Amino acid sequence: MLDLSLSLPKQTVQKKRKWWLTLKNFELMFSFKQIVEDSRSQTFAG
């Protein structure tokens, strides 16, 4: 298998990587928010 990222222009690869990192950061923040909300609701329930 050839590495497709080598055949692409470097700028495109960097844009995709930046977009992917942004998406990952958003996922992390969202999951953290869910954990905080879950722990809060458990505290109120208890």
For the segment 1-45, what is each residue's pLDDT rounded down to a tens digit? 566 656 667 778 788 889 989 999 999 999 999 999 999 888 776
Burial (CB < 10 A; 0-12, 13-18, 19+), residue 13, is middle
- 5: Cβ contacts below 8 Å, ≥ 6 apart: 13
> Has this prediction a pTM greater than 0.75?
no
Q: Taking a C-beta distance cutoff of 8 angstroms, is the pair 5, 13 a contact?
A: yes
